[in-house]
Structure 1
Amino acid sequence: MSKIVIALGGNALQANPKDTSANSQLNTAKDTAKYLVDLVEEGHDIIIAHGNGPQVGQIVSTYESSSKNVIMPFPECGAMSQGYIGYHLQQAIKIELMKRNINKDVVTLITEVVVDENDENFNNPSKPIGSFFTNEEAKKISDEKGYVFKEDAGRGWRRVVASPLPIRIVEESSIKTLVEAGHIVITVGGGGIPVIEKDGYLKGVDAVIDKDFASEKLAEILDADKLLILTAVEKVYINYGKLEEKSLDKVTVELMNKYMEEGHFAPGSMLPKVRAAIKFAASKEHRETVITSLNKVKEGLKGVTGTSISL
């Protein structure tokens, strides 16, 4: 059986984007847990990472709507979302384990991830978060707090943050200990809380780490056999939406790099997943990344469907 790092996409946490209630998310987590526990039942060791886009946006907006002058620091919002989502996944997975008489602990670890303060992405913040402001309101907050705002499709001004690459997972030793003890670990939620190293200490920074890159880093650290990236589609496509559209089944790293260089994958959508997938598959012999949908997770691992990338 395999050690598998699973990167959960947003649809695995919030099936109905119009219903952002806690109860709706918990119900979605319960559905997601069935697919995850299927893998546990087959004997696999799973480690779970997840995104947090909608949830962290709700947290930021809640603080902003309480007072236009109150902006919650983004690292703290990321930590809140890790606990919030982790609680729902813990509860849902534990319920499913109990139904199948599987005795395993499920643990959420609030996780910090080191980034480089000189990462070029800090020069061009592009990830919008939180509420919309008027130009005057945005300028006032920017002058007071130093935050960057950008106009968003004529709807108003939103705060934007950078998306730096992960360098190191701070709690990696604890994660390894929990995994080796046989626990199901939920970690690097939302890509992890971004921190920089300053004078020997860690300091949180306003940024969003891509959860697929953080998951790839986690998979390397744990010497996982497979990185499983779950998204809304069953397979990766080239020439997507065109007459010559073609799904990808088993693909080498070399060929996937070629497709990426040809511009087949959309930035902000499939491209980060493909980049993370290639990086893990190329990192060591016999490592494999599978990109597929949540409801096809077992078939994807068996090579029946999904896109499999390896050396």
Structure 2
Amino acid sequence: MGWTTAHVPDQSGRTALVTGASAGIGFETARVLAARGAHVVLACRDTGRGRAAAERIDGSTEVVPLDLASLASVRRAAGLVRERYRRLDLLVNNAGVMFPSYRRTEDGFEAHLGVNHLGHFALTGLLLDLMTSVPGSRVVTVASLAHRVGFGRLDEVAARSSTGRRSMTAYGRSKLANLLFARELQHRLAVAGAATVSVAAHPGLSPTALWHGDPPALARPVAAAGMRWLAQPVEAAALPSLRAAVDPAVHGGAYLGPSERFGGRGAPEATRSSRAARSGAERRRLWTLSEELTGVRYVCEPAVLEAPASAAETSSAPAVVVCPVTGARA
């Protein structure tokens, strides 16, 4: 039998933040974490739906307003979390849009890239110092099989494009950005000697609210056929995110997804991404661009950590943790 919610260890004493937790995969992720004892912050664009979701969860929860299409909202949400919590054990970057009704975000970014990547890049940077000294802490970024069709250069032109609202390529490009971000974050955390790790996951195919947008006409029959043959219930689609968040055997930099039917469904296992998602040069280039576009910069500062576990880990240089420094763009 594959990995299921029965494998989720006790989460008592831990605090988790899940974006887009009012429905779908985000809700299931939050529900299971709370049921295992975690205090879960539901970060939702629609706080009314967020509160309704929290009432359906058996456990400790709180709702924080977060609109990833607005960097001002991202900063306000991060500020609220920082006021209320001294530490964060889990950050699950789950929320996303596909074929949205609007073309650009409040800050003028192409909608898919602005919400799915840039909003989460900023949020993670603004909260990361609550995590880096917390043993077992993790950042989980939810990607997609669609990252394989994310053709085209990830640059400022694409980020500010007014086209792509109904483009699977634009959606795929944002999901490719998710994977590049997750891997570059892991690299930087590892170099810094932080306690936090970065992991990515994808849910396969599931009939979530993402499909309620306005897809291109040619994509509709393909999507319908795929849903009939490959899709799995939302409860199963949340398992990769949950395993990425809590399984102690999952290492930093891992990418998890369903193991059957071309990754569309099945138990969550380690999976392989496209070659483009593994490019170190593209990771670094996207990181620099994301800092410039969001005004959120991740900076390493020296800090003394606990003594190394073995002589092999000893170094004359001090250990460091990642401490994000932020500033609004002019």
Q: Which has the larger radius of gyration?
A: 1
The reply to whether TM is greater than 0.5 is: no
Whichever structure has more strand as a proportion of its residues is 1
What TM-score results when the alignment is normalised by the length of structure 1?
Answer: 0.31
Higher relative contact order (CA 8 A, sep 6+): 1
